[in-house]
Amino acid sequence: MPVIGQQTFVLAPTSDKYLSLTNEEFVRKLDLTGFGNNWSRIRIAMNCSLANTGGGSIGPRFVLFVGLCSGTAFPFQSQQCVNAVGYVWGDPSGAQSGTGWTANAGNPYYTSAGLGYYGIRKVGQGTQTATIGSATWAFMATGGTLERRGWLCADIGQTSTTGTQRGNTFNSAVASSDVWYEHSVYAANQGGVPMILESLAPNNTQTQTFGGGWNTNPLDTVNIFWGCPNYDLRIYALTVCFTP
């Protein structure tokens, strides 16, 4: 069961609560009253970090899905998943997938070495994925000379027949810095590929054709799944931005 923890930082909020996920998922239905399905893109941004392994990869169950699903009953990880679309880091098929590790002079972070990444749609147990291009991801690790919060987001675009999924994380060039709350929201609010602490976010975009009627079950619920049972994902803040 997800639990709430608390961590101390130098920058505001200095005593920050977080939601801890270990092989479980978070769902929150959006209030789309008066808005409905009339959006072209939704960005789901997380101020987050991953537990410190003490010097090695997080694996083999590194699966991080950030996206939208339809309703709260059958989200991404459900075998009866109604309709979930987003970006996934790691291997959603359950195959072995892990990260790299960079000590970064006492301010560690995980890297994308050996890590798969996909734009993904899931209905039932069936998935449709796409992976073209490359990006050098960075995921913040807890602990270090300075306690830091990282940042990542998934952009989900929709047309009547296609879906676009883009993943973004912070750039390793700023891995020694704490992405504090205000800048997390600022980055989420940037329309395109964001600048995180003035450093361009690594990103990767996939566009998939799903066919007419694919979003009849509307994507109305924020859905985050973290697959690793041993090291928790800490979510300090979640920001959802719409592009009309």
Residues that bind other proteins (CB under 8 A): 38-41, 155, 157, 182-183, 185-186, 189-195, 198, 241, 243-244
> How near is the Cβ of 226 to other proteins at its closest, in Å?
26
Asked whether the beta carbons of 110 and 58 are under 8 A apart, the reply is yes
d(CA 82, CA 67): 13
> Which CB sits closer to other proteins, 135 or 195?
195
> How near is the Cβ of 76 to other proteins at its closest, in Å?
24
Q: Which residues pair with 179 in a beta bridge?
A: none
Q: Detail the DSSP E strand segments found in 105-149.
A: 109-111, 117-123, 126-130, 138-140
> How near is the Cβ of 99 to other proteins at its closest, in Å?
28
> How near is the Cβ of 36 to other proteins at its closest, in Å?
10
Sheet of 221-226: strands edge to edge? 24-29, 221-226, 63-69, 84-90, 117-123, 126-130
d(CA 167, CA 151): 11
Asked whether the beta carbons of 50 and 140 are under 8 A apart, the reply is yes
- Per the listing, tokens 């000379």 go with 145
Extract the tokens encoding 85.
Answer: 């679309």
> Which CB sits closer to other proteins, 143 or 218?
218
Asked whether the beta carbons of 14 and 182 are under 8 A apart, the reply is no
> Which CB sits closer to other proteins, 72 or 182?
182
d(CA 54, CA 144): 10
> Which CB sits closer to other proteins, 22 or 207?
207
> How near is the Cβ of 189 to other proteins at its closest, in Å?
5
> Which CB sits closer to other proteins, 11 or 51?
11
> How near is the Cβ of 211 to other proteins at its closest, in Å?
22
> Which CB sits closer to other proteins, 95 or 200?
200
